[in-house]
Every structure is written in C-alpha cells, then in structure tokens.
Amino acid sequence: MRRQSGPANSDQRTHILDMSAQLFGQRGVDGTSINAIAEHVHLSKATIYHYFVSKEEIYSEIVINTLERLVEVLKAAVSRDDSPDDQLRSYMRAYAQFLDQNFWRFTTVLTGFGGIQRDNQRSRAMLLRRQAREIVRDIIRDGMKAGVFRKADVSTTAIAVLSMLNWMYRWYDRDGRKTPAQFAAEFADLAVQGLMQDGKSRSRK
C-alpha cells in the first residue's frame, strides 16, 4: 500500500488517535486490542497498521502529543497575567478547558503511562507531566515570595490544585449546565482565597 499524503491522510490518522483514546479511556489500554480499534473506527486492521506499527505507538503518541499541547496551552495562559492570583486562575481555567476539549485523550493521559513500553517515550511523558506541574508550582512559589500568598507547602498546594482539575475526568459532564471555565473559576476562588495572605483562618489543630 502506498502511503498517501495530504489532509485526508492526516485526518484519518487523527481520527484513529481520537477513537483509540476513547477506547483506552473507557476500557484501559490493556483492555483494548487493535481489532477493537479497527472495528471502532470502521477501518481494516491493515489500514490501522498503515499508520501505526502497534497499539503501543498509538498510545504513546496520544499521551505525548496531548501533554505537549497541554504544556503549551498552560504556558500561553499564564503568560498574559502579572499577579500570582490571576495566573493561578488562568492556569486552572486553561487546564479545565483543555480537559474538556481533549476529553478522551486527556483521560488516557490521566489513567497513567502503563501502556508506554519504550523508556525514552516514558521519560518524555514524565518530563512533560512534570513541566505542567512546574508551571503551577512556580506560580504558587512566586506568590509566596511576593507576599501575596501565605506560606504553605508548595508541593502539597500544587497537588491540591491539580487534584481539583484532574479528578474532573471522573465526574465532569460535557453536556451539563456548567462550562469547564465556570467550574475552574469556582475551584480557583477556593484555591486563591485559600492561599491569600490576608485570610484569617489557619490550621488550629
């Protein structure tokens, strides 16, 4: 089979990635076969193998490409703000919107990197995940240094913020009445006020 080029080819490739992500997200990588993917995209197994050498290649590409775009989106989002509280709000909104717009691909990312066998691909995925995390850690750390945020454990606070966002893949209803930006704004209200220096309530236990 001769490799096609141009948009049709690239569309079909993207379509295979999207449909595979849906199966990975719903059944796990182990629970998804190339046969199931072929059936789901209404293509022959041979056509799938025309684009990808293995299920693992499909999986790695979903994870790495999704994380690459996430990091870009987050960097762009926070670059427009000056104050740490605005940056934290922007980060959270961009993250929630990205999760909404890339729902199955991001679900695949969030269920772990167990399906990536090649060490260099796995390291790349872990590096990108760390970068996404570093952006919010930097915001929190800078906010504390500037005296805008109270002193708290940077790592735990970053985990708290990311937990609110990541857990969305389990409950967020894309047909629900609230947009991801609205949820993100409510979460950010809690996180920002929870961090502000002028808050009066601290641990009393």
Burial bucket for residue 28 (CB in 10 Å: 0-12, 13-18, 19+): middle
- What the block records as the tokens of 133 is 């995390």
- Rounded-to-integer distance, Cα 24 and Cα 17, Å: 10
Size of residue set near a copy of itself by CB under 8 A? 45
**133 and 158 Cβ atoms separated by less than 8 Å:** yes
- Rounded-to-integer distance, Cα 146 and Cα 64, Å: 34
| Shortest distance, position 117 Cβ to a copy of itself, whole Å | 16
- Name the amino acid, one letter, at 69: R
Return the number of the residue (65 or 166) whose C-beta is nearest a copy of itself.
Answer: 166
Return the number of the residue (3 or 205) whose C-beta is nearest a copy of itself.
Answer: 205
177: contact with a copy of itself by CB under 8 A: no
**Residue whose pair of structure tokens reads 């775009």 in the numeric block:** 69
- What the block records as the tokens of 128 is 């990108």
159: contact with a copy of itself by CB under 8 A: yes
| Shortest distance, position 121 Cβ to a copy of itself, whole Å | 20
Q: Which stretch binds a copy of itself (CB under 8 A): 2-10, 54-62, 117-125, 163-171?
A: 163-171
- What the block records as the tokens of 197 is 């220096």
- What the block records as the tokens of 145 is 């240094």
- Rounded-to-integer distance, Cα 135 and Cα 98, Å: 15
Return the number of the residue (51 or 144) whose C-beta is nearest a copy of itself.
Answer: 144
Site for a copy of itself in 186-205 (CB under 8 A): 186-196, 198-205
Instruction: Draw the binding track, 77-106, toward a copy of itself (x: CB under 8 A; -: no contact).
Output: --------xx--x-----------------
Beta-bridge partner residues of 196: 149
Residue from 95, 115, 162, 180 touching a copy of itself (CB under 8 A): that is: 162
Residue from 80, 164, 174, 179 touching a copy of itself (CB under 8 A): that is: 164
Return the number of the residue (5 or 201) whose C-beta is nearest a copy of itself.
Answer: 201
